[in-house]
Structure 1
Amino acid sequence: MLKVPYGMILISGPTGAGKTTTLYASINSLDCMGRNIITIEDPAEYRFKDINQIQVNPQAGITFATGLRSILRLDPDIIMVGEIRDAETANIAVQAALTGHLMLSSVHASDATGVLSRLLDLGIEPFLIASAVIGVVAQRMVRSICPDCSHLIEAPVVEQMAYQKEIGEKQTEFQYGTGCKSCAYTGYLGRTGIFEILAMSDTIRTMLSTQASSSQIRAQALKDGMVTMMNDGMRKVKAGITTPSEVLRNAYSAD
């Protein structure tokens, strides 16, 4: 998605889901040579070399909306807006994406298709969303199993059933951390992300323009091959990265 010259890519998730980290990783992965990249953030959590960063300052009259308007006068190639919180910012961001800019931002939504609903709630016309949005990434953070105390342990039946539903394999035992000095006896060490990526297909664009429901769009996205957060999480369970309980606790499941 980052290879396209213009359009909007949105990251969604609750506070603490790693949205800013994903936005920064996206910026880092871009070829910045000869490209004008500007960000507006609240606050700027990481400083980039050769990238102009603006920090929101309401006392000085700098909001996401006013800052974004100022940024557009500088004719940037790529814009990162820390968060789309209101209708004005959403409107400007969509127009920027439609006029030759690559726009990266985040919104609060429970899943990938919920992001599209959020833009509709902010008053953006369906045909504009269909034209502007390239893709959406919904994410959560889950705790990683401590490698120093990881053991196979029989899981509760509800976890076994959830795993079987997503992976299609019956399994009763999974890796769990039993607790040690390395992980302060929690069984977990570090965190990893679980993701749901919605790439806007022509079919979904048409459905959005004709005001199809969020559930209908989600069903089509799954038909197109979208991997849900729950499924991605259970794949990481299979790989021994996290536990079924962590995935069930954090992943949103509308399926």
Structure 2
Amino acid sequence: DGLRVRLRIDGVLHPLSSLPVTQPAALLARLKILGGLDIAERRLPQDGQFSLEIAGKPASFRLATLPIYGGEKAVVRLLQSESAALSLDKLGLPAAQLRLFCAALAQPQGLILVTGPTGSGKTFTLYSGLSALNTPEKNLCSVEDPIEIPLPGINQTQIHAKNGLDFNRVLRALLRQDPDVIMVGEIRDAETAEIAVKAAQTGHLVLSTLHTNSTAETLTRLRQMGIPGYLLGSALKLIVAQRLVRRLCPHCRQPAQAVAHYPAELWPGTLQTWRAPGCDHCFSGYFGRLALFELLPINARLQNAIAAEMPLENLLSLAKQQGLRTLLVSGLEAVSRGDTSLEEMQRVIGLDDG
């Protein structure tokens, strides 16, 4: 009995004390009112959004409800609402990877994809890239669900599926708005993927996201969506895969006795690991998060390989020959610097170097 409340902080769920059984229905009803949902509807899932002022600053939230056995479940997600923090320099990209990202953004046309699971920071990266392109000389348009950060100077459209305003309909309309840059919040189906790829081949720079685990897996997903290799190879300019890992507290971290060993092609020699027991600054050993990146720029050799629909294993091998720095290698480097723990890196990335 009661209401279980949990907070996801830095990617990890933390339970709070359960509320008395008399409060759940009233609390859920209040959330539904804030989100503009039907408070009487308990049999179907609903989605909404609301804004509040907290400590004098605006805060936006996304609300999703779901009927479950014995009642209802609700998830409230805090949305990033400050555009001032959007900067490529604040993404945490190493200098070499930042240059690759900036070079792709400087292209007059093509497709840039940011990939990763939910909560990996894709939207922040996408908005940062869009902000870097936001000048009076360029017409920037976006289609989003929802608009998480209002950006002055950018024509942002939020979809309303119930009213027939879906990604595909808005995207087709945007192509008639003389855009230089188009941002698609997420490629969810084959039709959206096809429109985005064709837009990237007709004089538009297109930025979007996909829910895949690596740069190589992104190519597989697009193939599964029915995008021919000859279209994909010529449209793609860059794929960015990313994860967020918890950062070890700088106040209490210390070298650990355990030293990990990996195959020489991944990490030559031994890998020094770190630990943080917790202190008055962090209380847990971790303080904040940092991003890990894997960037795959599509050069001429990779374009030809994708167009020829080369098997994924061969594509990945070719990419590594040309200097692909995988998420696992990025994670191992973060561990060696003491930025995160080996356990945290394995929790988020795993040990598969695919």
TM-score for both structures, normalised by structure 2: 0.68
1:166 positional shift: 2.9
Residues 165, 226 of structure 1: alpha-carbon distance in 2 compared, 3 angstrom cutoff: closer
Residues 251, 163 of structure 1: alpha-carbon distance in 2 compared, 3 angstrom cutoff: farther
Do the aligned partners of 2:134 and 2:140 also contact (CA within 8 Å) in 1? no
1:102 aligns to 2:205 (yes or no): yes
1:231 positional shift: 0.5
Q: Secondary structure at the match of 2:270?
A: coil
**Which one-letter code corresponds to 1:152 in the other structure?**
P
What does 1:1-255 align with in structure 2 at a 5 Å threshold?
1-155=104-258, 160-162=260-262, 166-171=266-271, 173-183=272-282, 185-251=283-349, 253-255=352-354
Aligned length: 250
Structure 2: how far apart are the matches of 1:181 and 1:62? 50
1:75 positional shift: 1.2
2:93 equivalent in structure 1? none
Greater Cα shift, 174-183 or 52-61: 174-183
**Unmatched 5+ residue regions in structure 2?**
1-103
**Which one-letter code corresponds to 1:59 in the other structure?**
K
Do the aligned partners of 1:163 and 1:244 also contact (CA within 8 Å) in 2? no
**Which one-letter code corresponds to 1:144 in the other structure?**
R
Do the aligned partners of 2:196 and 2:206 also contact (CA within 8 Å) in 1? yes
Do the aligned partners of 1:43 and 1:55 also contact (CA within 8 Å) in 2? yes
1:127 positional shift: 0.3
Do the aligned partners of 1:164 and 1:170 also contact (CA within 8 Å) in 2? no
TM-score for both structures, normalised by structure 1: 0.93
Greater Cα shift, 30-39 or 189-198: 30-39
Do the aligned partners of 2:245 and 2:344 also contact (CA within 8 Å) in 1? yes
Structure with a larger share of its residues in strand = 2
Which is higher, the Rg of structure 1 or of structure 2? 2
Q: Secondary structure at the match of 1:166?
A: coil
Over the aligned positions, Cα root-mean-square deviation in angstroms equals 1.5
Q: Secondary structure at the match of 1:25?
A: helix
1:165 positional shift: 5.7
1:99 positional shift: 0.2
CA deviation profile, 1:29-55 (whole Å, cap 9, x unmatched): 225221000111111111101111111
**Which one-letter code corresponds to 2:275 in the other structure?**
Y
CA deviation profile, 1:41-94 (whole Å, cap 9, x unmatched): 111111101111111110121111111111111010001101000011001001
**Unmatched 5+ residue regions in structure 1?**
none
Q: Secondary structure at the match of 1:167?
A: coil
